[in-house]
A and B are shown apart, each in its own frame.
Chain A
Amino acid sequence: MNVIETERLTKRFGDFVAVDRLDFQVARGEIFGFLGANGAGKTTAMRMLCGLSVPTSGTERVAGFDIGRQTESVKKSIGYMSQKFSLYDDLTVAENFRLFGGIYGVPSREIPSRTDEMLELLDFRSEKNTFVKSLPLGWKQKLSFSIAIFHRPGVVFLDEPTGGVDPVSRRRFWELIYEASDRGITVFATTHYMDEAEYCHRASIMVDGRIEALDTPARLKQAHGAASMDEVFRNLARKATRRAD
Chain B
Amino acid sequence: MPALDVRDLDRSFGSTKALEGVSFSVEDGELFGLIGPDGAGKTTLFRILSTLLLADRGTAAVDGFDVVRDARKIRERVGYMPGRFSLYQDLTVEENLEFFANVFGTTVARNRHLVDDIYRHIEPFRKRKAGALSGGMKQKLALSCALIHKPSVLFLDEPTTGVDPVSRKEFWNILANLRSQRITIVVSTPYMDEAILCDRVALMDDGRVLRIDTPDGIVEGFPGPLWIARARNMHALLSGLRDDPDVESAFAFGDAHHVKPRPDAKDPAGLARRLEERGHQEVVVAPARPGIEDCFIEMLGRKVSA
The interface of chain A, by Cβ under 8 A from chain B, is 36-39, 83, 136-137, 160, 163-169, 171, 174-175, 178-179, 181-182, 192-199, 217-218, 228-230, 233-234, 237-238, 243-245
Contact = CB atoms under 8 A, between A and B. Distances in A.
A243 B255 contact: no
B299 to A, nearest CB: 10
Interface stretch (B46-54, B71-79, B131-139): B131-139
B174 interface: no
Given A166-B205, A234-B166, A245-B163, 7 more contacts: A37-B165, A137-B37, A175-B238, A179-B235, A195-B193, A237-B165, A245-B134
B252 A169 contact: no
B161 A163 contact: yes
A201 to B, nearest CB: 10
Q: Sorted from nearest, which 8 A-B pairs have the closest CB atoms? A: A245-B136, A198-B254, A166-B37, A244-B134, A164-B38, A178-B235, A195-B254, A198-B255
Interface string B292-306: 010011001100000
A192 B165 contact: yes
Interface size on B, as a range, is 35 or more
A163 B83 CA distance: 14
Nearest to B170: A245
A196 B301 CA distance: 21
A163 B162 contact: yes
B36 A166 contact: yes
A233 B164 CA distance: 10
Given A137-B38, A166-B205, A230 B165 contact: yes
Contacts of A196: 254
B24 interface: no
B144 to A, nearest CB: 14
Contacts of B293: 167
A37 B164 contact: yes
Nearest to B140: A245
Interface string B241-269: 00000000001111100000000000000
Contacts of B166: 37, 233-234, 237-238, 243, 245
Nearest to A179: B235
B165 A194 contact: yes
A192 B253 contact: no
28 contacts: A36-B164, A37-B167, A160-B162, A163-B161, A164-B38, A166-B37, A166-B300, A167-B37, A169-B37, A171-B252, A171-B297, A192-B164, A195-B254, A196-B254, A197-B254, A217-B255, A218-B255, A228-B254, A230-B193, A234-B165, A234-B166, A244-B135, A244-B136, A244-B137, A245-B135, A245-B136, A245-B139, A245-B167
Contact of A38 (B134, B193, B253): B134
Given A164-B190, A171-B253, A196-B254, A136 B39 contact: yes
B191 interface: yes
B163 A192 contact: yes
Contacts of B235: 175, 178-179, 181-182
Interface in B131-169: 134-137, 139, 161-169
Contacts of B296: 166-167
B118 interface: no
A168 B297 contact: yes
A17 B193 CA distance: 34
Contact of B134 (A39, A168, A194): A39
A72 to B, nearest CB: 32
Given A179-B235, A244-B134, A167 B297 contact: yes
B219 interface: no
A234 B169 contact: yes
